[in-house]
Amino acid sequence: MAKNKNKENEKVEVKILSPEEEQEKLNKSLDLIELCKEKSETPFDVAAENERAVIFKTYKKTRTKNNIIMSVVVVLFVVSMFLFMNPAYDNWVKIVGGVTIGVTFVFLVVHYILTKNIFPNTTKTYIRNFFQIVDNYVFDIPDAHDQKLYHEKRYAMTDVISDRCYKDVIDVVSRNIVSGTYKEKPFECGELALYKAGAKRGQKVVAFVGKYLSFENKLHFEERYIIQIKGQTVTDSPNDIDDLVVVSEQNNFVIYGKEGAQVEKDLGKDLINNLKSIECVDSLLNVNIVLWAGHTSVYLSYDDKIVAIPFDHAIEANGYVQLKKNITGIFEILLG
């Protein structure tokens, strides 16, 4: 009884971390890298292409090696089975065949265990290095500061659903999230893909794929606006608009808002005219801008030059040059 009482009186020490230590712990878990600190003499596309060339060479070498190994294993297995199953051979021949089958099987298992993580780990390192190189270029923008890349950070469903640009979203995939400030105003930018249910059971179809930017604004009005800037082929259109109407439309520039909304009063003529200067050309397919009082989200739809990491083909630098231009323009218009 006394022993139990002593246990109850024992003190449990809990280490309380300082805010700085908590932040350092979080940064480590999110694999944080500070960007734009040092200028490289090597152009970003050359550096990125060097990374890609190395991993693709490794992939081809690994595939060739595995093909040779599998060919040898198949031959050994067929020959061993022939020796083991053929009644014309003596027992010792069958024993040799059976042992060879066993050794071959064990070799395959050991080979799989030793090599299963080699290429995935190499790929993860390549993706990490690729994003760091590209982001160092893309976010090296005048008046932008404190740029940080979080390799392990991801958007939650609530982060994007609360924008009310897309509805019926069943899955959110994100990566390559960068934070920073532009003219001392915080921003966050990451790669995002949203999926909604398809016609068939278990099927998922893309609702949006591209770059996602979010930051605060100083606007004051009720409800929300969605501004769509369309490209030559309309894609990734907003679908959470059942309670909105088209309050303004000019060519490829459409503003959705509440019935009777005074868009020029709420947003300002200058902001609207500046947004009209954005063109959806080349890799930029569509732009959706969601404006709430105090919060702005920008959905930039891009083609594979931006949303797909190059592997078996050379990097297309012009896509990232355009991406930098697009993000700089968005910052100048909405955060300037």
Whether residues 81 and 193 share a domain: the answer is no
Residues 51 and 152 in one domain: no
Whether residues 158 and 277 fall in one domain = yes
The boundaries of the domain holding residue 166 are: 145-334
Same domain assignment for residues 186 and 327: yes
pTM, whole model, 2 decimals?
0.80
119 and 259 housed in the same domain: no
- Helices assigned H by DSSP within the chain: 2-9, 19-29, 44-85, 91-115, 118-138, 157-161, 263-267, 269-275, 304-307, 317-334
The domain total for the chain is 2
pLDDT score, position 187: 98
Same domain, 179 and 41: no
**CA distances in angstroms from 158 to 239, 257, 291, 298, listed in the order given:** 17, 22, 17, 16
Task: Take residue 85 and report the two structure tokens written for it.
Answer: 């199953």
Q: Which of 118, 138, 158 is the last residue of a domain?
A: 138
Residue 17 lies in a domain: no
Q: Give the integer Cα–Cα distance in Å for 144 and 183.
A: 6
- Residue 245: what pLDDT? 97
* Structural domain includes residue 6: no
pLDDT of residue 301: 97
Residues of the chain with pLDDT under 70: 1-27, 65, 69, 73, 75-77, 79-120
